[in-house]
Copies of this chain bind each other. A is one copy, B any other.
């Protein structure tokens, strides 16, 4: 390793600064870190004071200058947003430069286009920082688990919502209260929609799914329910029944249960607040931590756990990707070959099944009349519609009305919807107050 590798940085926010700090203090890190040379940095405001010792001559407010600088071999995109990020990534690729990005929104939407361009140009686009902050998950999925048939990926992959849910569970307070505090503390954005409506988690599960199953699906068709309508009452009842409520993002291969004759792989992807049994490894994941559980054959189950966000952890993931490119660049031949394991090109077709075919347990909370036969009626109606019940519990009865919580066995969402329509037509049933998933 006598050569160094020139890096250009697009963006110098918290993650960008975290990357610079690692590169400026190589002691105690892998020796390859000292071979990485920061050559050019694009920032929005050239006047802004920064607490970093960087030669001002490397700054520019024109990101294209970074991408096109001949001394820059690897472009690190940590500016965020869809454009100009996407165009800059594609421009870098077209110049034969590898790209490292933390931009889950771009990769979830344009991952296929970008991977195809990278393949054609013999470069890498590495995205470890796009999912799970500092947790190594992209690299293990691509390399360490490559011998497995992956069946399912499920995870807590949004730190903001997990923080809110953890505090709601611990303190018994309302969603709105915790959200406001989280915003004050900087754990939630002023506009929290992307997090609390589950959109960020949907971006990330789309990315994990494409790596786990070898092909991408349409991002906009992922069934997504956030936590913004979740009531603390349901967290409390779940807890009494032995469950935590987590915002889970799930991707499942339904190949075995299908007989389509279609060579495209049927996948179910969804994001939903879900009851997780207390003894389940995901149940103990609290605060801003993330965890991703991978199920496959022959591995069984493995889980990756750690800080899902933050400048330091995310910078750790970005630097890991730069190191990977630096390490492998010592081998790259003139013909610009790429290691097929490290490249993230898709290797088969996948498609989303109709949401109605997602199979899972359900948690339901109903307000009913407080009459003796109501539990029997509900139970019978579910039975007639082939929905098996795991438990029915009456939690509260006041003012001549009762609150009933039902946990079903596994059933597809289509049948569940049909049954719920019928249940709600019962004269004894006043309203369906909550409908969540359940592991």
The residue that A149 contacts in the complex, of B28, B304, B305, B341, with Cβ under 8 A, is: B28
> Which of A148, A338, A342 has most chain B Cβ within 10 Å?
A148
Q: Binary interface profile of A, 334-346, with partner B (CB < 8 Å = 1, else 0)?
A: 0001111110000
The residue that A143 contacts in the complex, of B33, B323, B332, with Cβ under 8 A, is: B323
A172 in the interface (beta carbon within 8 A):
no
A313 in the interface (beta carbon within 8 A):
yes
Q: Which of A185-193, A294-302, A378-386 contacts B (4 or more CB under 8 A)?
A: A294-302
In the complex with contacts A281-B284, A298-B18, A146-B33 CB distance below 8 A: yes
The residue that A32 contacts in the complex, of B150, B338, B340, with Cβ under 8 A, is: B340
A52 in the interface (beta carbon within 8 A):
no
B298 touches A32 (CB 8 A): no
Shortest C-beta distance, A163 to chain B (Å), equals 15
In the complex with contacts A323-B341, A327-B342, A331-B332, A30-B347 CB distance below 8 A: yes
Q: Which of A131-139, A196-204, A218-226, A239-247 contacts B (4 or more CB under 8 A)?
A: A131-139
Inside 8 A of A18's CB, which chain B residues have their CB? 298
Q: Which of A314-322, A351-359, A411-419 contacts B (4 or more CB under 8 A)?
A: A314-322
Chain A facing B: main interface SS: mixed
Number of this chain's copies in the complex:
2
A307 in the interface (beta carbon within 8 A):
yes
A323 touches B147 (CB 8 A): yes
Nearest neighbor of A304 in chain B, beta-carbon distance: B304
Nearest neighbor of A320 in chain B, beta-carbon distance: B144
B134 touches A302 (CB 8 A): yes
Shortest C-beta distance, A302 to chain B (Å), equals 3
Q: In residues 281-295 of chain A, which contact B (Cβ within 8 Å)?
A: 281, 284
B299 touches A302 (CB 8 A): no
Q: In residues 6-38 of chain A, which contact B (Cβ within 8 Å)?
A: 18, 21-22, 27-33
Shortest C-beta distance, A127 to chain B (Å), equals 12
B323 touches A21 (CB 8 A): no
Shortest C-beta distance, A243 to chain B (Å), equals 15
In the complex with contacts A319-B146, A320-B145, A328-B339, A299-B313 CB distance below 8 A: yes
CA distance A299 to B33 in the complex (A): 15
A21 touches B330 (CB 8 A): no
The residue that A22 contacts in the complex, of B147, B311, B328, with Cβ under 8 A, is: B147
B332 touches A312 (CB 8 A): no
A143 touches B305 (CB 8 A): no
Inside 8 A of A307's CB, which chain B residues have their CB? 299-302
B143 touches A324 (CB 8 A): yes
Q: Binary interface profile of A, 214-244, with partner B (CB < 8 Å = 1, else 0)?
A: 1000000000000000000000000000000
A22 touches B298 (CB 8 A): yes
A128 in the interface (beta carbon within 8 A):
yes
B317 touches A144 (CB 8 A): yes
CA distance A327 to B341 in the complex (A): 6
A-B pairs with beta carbons under 8 Å apart, 16 shown: A18-B298, A22-B147, A28-B253, A30-B147, A33-B146, A128-B144, A136-B136, A144-B317, A147-B315, A279-B284, A299-B306, A303-B305, A305-B305, A327-B339, A327-B342, A331-B332
Q: Which 4 A-B pairs have the closest CB atoms?
A: A298-B312, A147-B319, A136-B144, A302-B306
A residues with a Cβ closer than 8 A to B are 1, 18, 21-22, 27-33, 128, 134-136, 139-140, 143-150, 214, 253, 255, 279, 281, 284, 296-307, 310-313, 315-317, 319-320, 322-324, 326-328, 330-333, 337-342, 347
Q: 9 new A-B pairs (CB below 8 Å) besides A144-B320, A145-B316, A299-B306?
A: A21-B298, A29-B149, A30-B347, A31-B347, A143-B323, A299-B307, A299-B313, A327-B340, A327-B341
